[in-house]
Amino acid sequence: MNRYILTAAALLLAGLACNFGTQEAQPQAGGTPVPAQPLPSTTVALPLPPQATTTPPPTPTEAPSPFQPAAFLVMDAENSLSLYDFQGQNLARLQAPGLENVPSGGVHVAGRWSQGEFNLPLIYLAYGDTVNVRQSLNGQVSNLVADIDLTYLHGAMGQAPYVYVLTTGGAQALVSRVYLGGNPNPLMERVDPEYFAVFPLALPASQGNVSGVWYSLTPYGIGGDIVFPPHKGLFYLDLANPGAENRYLDDGFSPLGLSPDLTWLAYMPAEGGFVAGSPARLTLYNLYTAARVEVALNPESDRGAGHAVFAPDNRRVAWMEGAGWLMDEPPSFRSRLVIADIGGNILASLDAAALGNAVGIANAVWVEPVGWLDGENLLVEVRDANWENNGLARLRYDGGQITLLARGMFAGFVYP
């Protein structure tokens, strides 16, 4: 499809992405990424990075409660979806024709789930002659949007609203248009001469009403030895004032994950942001209190970290660290799972191979936290070197009580 054709600009970005974690760059004064001083705001005290806009972030709305899920979706080798509970019981098979291998959480459950009711409204991207936003409901599958330029989709947790992104490339720039499902008019249009696309991260909503879109920027159409999404910057589109681009991390930093209540952020320097000979650090940052905790990565984690997920009560956080290269012959890549409390104290650090052996997945190299089941138990995806043997396992915050729940890839959470 034409959306996958690399332009000259995209090829340049591919080279940058392939070298992620190996470039030298000088951090801000003091050796750590320190945002600017807090704004003199009467409602929210938000330290902004240099050159950021001065609009404070939205006051957290009353989000779906509880933040902890009730079940999860798994995609098997035939791209079929199944609903599992936290004891590993397969509850139901769900229709999603056209679904392909998607990143973690690539399916939006556009509603809440009650025990015994398996008719879940699904919104997802389907691929064929074109790209579709599809809805699966009551045994019926319908196309909501069809456009070859469809690239990303993200939904509000446990609610119906979702956004999707159309990206159109030209000789001079990439244009990203962000749409709210059901609205033919874009919420925003962003023109980027460096070919970075808008990537939605979170959709704050209350009772089905969306208040804004948290998003980052990602290089479009690149390939290479990419481990973690090469996002840069953190932005908020305030639907009450859609003409402004509110920036909360500048291009030198990459957001790794937001907490379910959208108050905590994990971030690191973006590509080229590491200093040779210095330990890489991950920062846990509260957008509203300005609390900041830095955590040093394992010394061997030369590919950095990513896929950070916060517990529903924000007491703990987990992330994946990487080392080596997927495209080496033979591949040298390996990863580990790290779990910490919100104060930055390491509670567990588990090598992918050891965790894979514990759940019967031999030669595991990939262990990605996909989310917390509650305040104490984490769900992780484990994969082997050939990406042919995948499984989802549950474990405690201290790294114990490891249990395989399902075979396949994580596709999303279902909320009660």
Superfamily of domain 5-35+66-414: YVTN repeat-like/Quinoprotein amine dehydrogenase (2.130.10.10)
Alpha carbons 23 and 161: distance in angstroms, whole number: 40
Contact 74, 64 (CB under 8 A): no
What distance in Å separates the CA atoms of residue 61 and residue 59, rounded to the nearest whole number?
6
d(CA 285, CA 263) in angstroms, rounded, equals 8
State the Cα–Cα distance between residues 41 and 209, nearest whole angstrom: 26
- Could you give the CA distance from residue 290 to residue 363 in angstroms, rounded to a whole number? 41
Structure tokens at 315: 């007491």
Per-residue pLDDT of the chain (416 residues; tens, 9 = 90+): 333 333 333 333 333 333 333 322 222 322 333 333 322 222 233 444 333 344 556 655 544 446 899 999 999 888 889 999 999 999 999 989 988 866 655 799 998 887 666 678 999 999 888 999 999 988 899 999 999 999 999 999 999 999 999 999 988 999 999 999 999 999 999 999 999 999 999 999 988 999 999 999 999 877 666 778 888 999 999 998 877 778 899 888 999 999 999 999 999 987 645 555 566 889 999 998 889 999 999 988 888 899 999 999 999 999 999 888 777 677 778 899 999 999 999 999 999 999 999 999 998 998 999 999 999 999 999 998 877 889 999 999 999 999 999 999 999 999 98
Q: Which residues contact 86 (CB under 8 A, 6 or more apart)?
A: 71, 72, 373, 377, 394, 405
Cβ within 8 Å of residue 42, ≥6 positions away = none
Dump the DSSP string for 198-265: EEEEE--EETTEE-EEEEEEEESS--SS--S---EEEEEEETTSTT--EEEE-TTEEEEEE-TTS-EE
State which H helix or E strand residue 269 sits in. strand 264-269
The answer to whether the beta carbons of residues 198 and 187 sit under 8 Å apart is no
Token couple for 51: 């050159």
Nearest Cα residue to 47 out of 29, 56, 214, 266: 56
Name residue, tokens 């396992």. Answer: 393
Q: Which helix (H) or strand (E) holds 352?
A: helix 352-358
Give the strand pairing for 253-258 and 71-75: unpaired
**Residue 63 near residue 204 (C-beta atoms within 8 A):** yes
Question: In whole angstroms, how far apart are CA 120 and each of 144, 160, 316, 319?
Answer: 17, 11, 30, 29
* Collapsed DSSP state (helix, strand, coil) of residue 13: helix
Residue 58 and residue 212 in contact, taking contact as beta carbons nearer than 8 Å: yes
Which two tokens mark 156?
């509000």
Q: Report the alpha-carbon distance of residue 74 to residue 391 in Å, rounded.
A: 9
pTM: 0.83
CA neighbor of 411 nearest in space, from 81, 77, 105, 95: 105
